A and B are shown apart, each in its own frame.
Chain A
Amino acid sequence: MRIVLEALIVAVLAAAFGVTANSLSGKRLVIDRDYFAALREPPPVVLGDPPTSMDPTDAPAGVGGDTGEGVDLHGYSGPAAETARQLLERGIQIIGHDEVVALYRDELFEEEAYTFIDARSDEKYSAGHIRQAYVFDHYFMERYLDQVLPACQGVAEVVVYCHGGECTDSEIAAQHLLDLGVDRRILKVYVGGIEQWTAAGLPLERGERGSGDLTAEDDHGG
């Protein structure tokens, strides 16, 4: 019996230590926060919104969740196609890789007419992000709202990305931005993410936003 009592005491002490240490940690998780609520919310019933595909002949998606035949997945296949379908069912627009690169190469990119949002952690962002992208780790989103929300106002496009493929962070981040008032008509998720960007040999910026430290020569605009 003593050993069981000792185990109970140790377990309670360990739990109390964990709660205290977590509350003091810079990477603390908020116990009563629902981090994945955006993945469970039913697709919004939105009337009068524009189609979620750039092709005007495509049937609008995102209302009622129908993403069957005829829906433009912007070239995504495999796990990325499944993520794309989920986004469209939730009424969130997607943007294909070629379109993202076209925005990046557009002269208006330097004038910050387009905002890129990196939905990964600070560490992954610093290791390499699309140039001029803002970091927005939705698990700690209060830290980033002061920068990110103004950057999503008055621009032509807001492109949200994460790792790519099955990564759901861009979906959750996009939903948070929509809930915070970002215009649904300009917000799009780049489902291919960093994985597709780097596979295409495109440069990444290391460190902070605007550091200029690129992983490869950037022939942007050239």
Chain B
Amino acid sequence: MAADPRNDARRGGVLTLLARLLLGGAFLYLGALKLQDPVAFLKAIREYHLVPQDHPQLLNFVAAVLPWAEVLLGALLVLGVAVRGTALVFVGLLASFTTAITLRALAEHRELGKAFCEVAFDCGCGTGVEHVCVKLMQNAVLLVVALFLVGSRARRFCLRHSLFGRPG
């Protein structure tokens, strides 16, 4: 008996919905956590030393804007708006966060002589001090989910799957 393509479409739609809820929900939650204490987030990202000290405006901009952006992007994904584009933004964010965390962990691993997975710090993710390997695993899962969503064309359960073309 030939497979019913409608079943495949339903499964794809449910899988995409679950992925959207996981990724979008995670960033909604993490963004909201950061918004409870923007100063703590500012202090945490300052520790990465990615921004020249004589350009505090860039650091302030990231600290002020990123948590709100995460909340909006998470909401867009949960609601199913501009799904693939939003997922692509998350790919960019997760790749950046993961790179920064890895570089900082490597620096501490060298300076303190600790095993890489023993390194722990407040990454500024909103969840306090965590072991770097745990954080990198979490980011890897979210990155895989984001990449899946970038490639997914399932439109079920979406408010507006794409900003271009037909609604839904």
**Contacting pair B82 A15 (CB below 8 A):** no
Convert A3-32 into 0s and 1s, putting 1 for each residue whose CB lies closer than 8 angstroms to a CB of B.
111111111011101110110010111111
- Contacting pair B53 A3 (CB below 8 A): no
User: B68-76, B120-128, B137-145: which one contacts chain A?
Assistant: B68-76
Given contacts A2-B164, A22-B68, A10 and B37 within 8 Å (CB-CB): no
Q: Are A10 and B76 in contact (CB under 8 A)?
A: yes
User: Looking at the complex, which one of B56, B85, B86 makes contact with A33 (CB distance below 8 Å)?
Assistant: B56
Say yes or no: A19 contacts B65, CB within 8 Å.
yes
| Docked complex Cα distance between A68 and B40 (Å) | 33
With an 8 A cutoff between CB atoms, is A36 at the interface? yes
- A contact residues around B76 at 8 Å (CB): 10
Kindly list chain B residues whose C-beta atoms are within 8 Å of the C-beta of A15.
65, 69
Measured CB to CB, the nearest residue on chain A to B65 is A18
- Give the distance to chain A from B105, nearest Cβ to Cβ, in Å: 19
Q: Contacts A29-B38, A30-B60, A40-B53 hold; do A3 and B84 have CB atoms under 8 A apart? A: yes
- Give Cα distance in the complex from A7 to B42, angstroms: 26
Whether the pair A31, B85 counts as a contact (CB closer than 8 A) is no
Please tell me the number of chain B residues within 8 Å of chain A, measured between CB atoms.
Answer: 32
B157 to chain A, nearest CB (A): 19
Task: Answer whether residue A35 sits at the interface, using C-beta atoms and an 8 A cutoff.
Answer: yes
Which A residues are in CB contact (< 8 Å) with B162? 2, 6
Check if B85 sits within 8 Å of A3, measured CB to CB: yes
A-side contacts of B38, CB under 8 Å: 22, 25, 27-29
Determine the chain A residues whose CB is within 8 A of the CB of B64 once the complex forms: 18-19, 22, 28-29, 31
Q: Which residues of B contact A10 (CB under 8 A)?
A: 73, 76, 82, 85-86, 89
Cβ of B14 within 8 Å of any chain A Cβ, yes or no, is: no
Q: Please measure, in the bound complex, the distance between the C-alpha atom of A8 and the C-alpha atom of B38, giving whole angstroms.
A: 25
Cα separation A66 to B41 with both chains bound (whole Å) = 33
B115 to chain A, nearest CB (A): 22
Query: Main SS of the interface on chain A?
Result: helix
Expressed in whole angstroms, the minimum distance between the Cβ of B151 and any Cβ of chain A is: 10
Given contacts A2-B162, A10-B82, contact A33 B89 (CB under 8 A): no
Flag if A36 contacts B56 (CB, 8 Å): yes
Q: Is the beta-carbon distance between A29 and B42 smaller than 8 angstroms?
A: yes
Q: Give Cα A25 to B71, complex, Å.
A: 14
Binding site for A on B (CB under 8 A): 35, 37-39, 42, 46, 53, 56-57, 60-61, 63-69, 72-73, 76, 82, 84-86, 88-89, 92, 150, 162-164
Q: List 13 A-B contacts (CB under 8 A).
A: A2-B164, A3-B150, A13-B72, A15-B65, A22-B68, A29-B38, A29-B64, A31-B60, A32-B57, A36-B46, A123-B37, A137-B39, A139-B39
Known: A18-B66, A29-B38. 18 other contacts (CB 8 A): A4-B85, A6-B85, A6-B163, A9-B85, A10-B73, A11-B92, A13-B72, A14-B89, A15-B69, A19-B65, A22-B65, A22-B68, A29-B60, A30-B60, A32-B57, A36-B56, A121-B39, A137-B39
